[in-house]
Copies of this chain bind each other. A is one copy, B any other.
Amino acid sequence: MEIKVVKQILAWNEDVSDKIHLVTSEKRIAIVNVMGSPGAGKTSLIKNIIDNLRGDYSIGVIEGDIAGMIDAETIDKMGIPVVQLQTDGACHIEAMAIENILGRFDLDKLDVIFVENIGNLVCPAEFNIGEDFRVSILSVPEGDDKVAKYPLMFATTDALIINKADMLPFFDFDVERVKKDTYDVNPGANIFPVSSRNGDGFPEFLDWLRNRINEKIKS
């Protein structure tokens, strides 16, 4: 007998993501989805971005966590508007949560919102959250096989930060392998080896980031 095949499409999530785009286009706000494993350096990256771009842009942050609010407290102390999103166990953020949160910000005053997704290499990449672009982080201690093993995040990201590059002498991590594996699934990826600790590689990433934000808010 012919077997019926049904595709599960996360259609409602896509619908809400589209609604967010309408709002952020009208308000001229860029939303950046920041993804990576636990400990890859997502919060440090966002802090460094804030330090470097706060003179040029009005920045907000949404901190996604399964529980707690440690990272939100860090951002709050920098004087940046921040909302803590708690997923109560869920391994990813969905668009409806972001739509709900947008109303907690003064959108007329913001240029860009960074969303720190849940620390996880797999699930977050499955869900659009109304972002204009994605910045994913792979840190050197995680190993250079992660693109091959968990391709979706790397296939769908706009920028890939190879973080903790100052640790390269101490790990058997082949940057060229990561680049090759990423380009195989994502030929247009922008890859930036960066050290959040000493700042190496950061200026190149910031140039790219400014261009992408400006594309959205000055178009």
CA of A126 to CA of B120 in the docked complex: distance in angstroms?
15
Please judge, given known A-B contacts A73-B3, A91-B123, A104-B6, whether A11 and B83 are in contact too, CB under 8 Å.
Answer: no
Alpha-carbon distance A101/B8, docked complex (angstroms): 10
Q: A76-B1, A123-B123 are in contact. Are A6 and B90 (CB under 8 A)?
A: no
> Which residues in window 2-29 of A have CB below 8 A to B?
3-12
Is residue A94 within 8 Å, beta carbon to beta carbon, of the partner chain? yes
Flag if B89 contacts A4 (CB, 8 Å): no
Known contacts A3-B82, A76-B1, A82-B3; is-contact A87 B12 (Cβ 8 Å): no
- Knowing A12-B96, A76-B1, A123-B91, the reply to whether A7 touches B86 (Cβ < 8 A) is yes
* Contact between B69 and A126, CB atoms less than 8 A apart: no
A159 lies within 8 A of chain B by Cβ: no
- A interface: dominant SS: mixed
A152 located at the interface, meaning its Cβ lies under 8 Å from any Cβ of chain B in the complex: yes
Interface presence of A93 (CB below 8 A): yes
Q: Once bound together, how far apart are the Cα atoms of A5 and B64, in whole Å?
A: 10
If A91-B122, A123-B123, A126-B91 touch, whether A6 touches B72 (CB-CB below 8 Å) is no
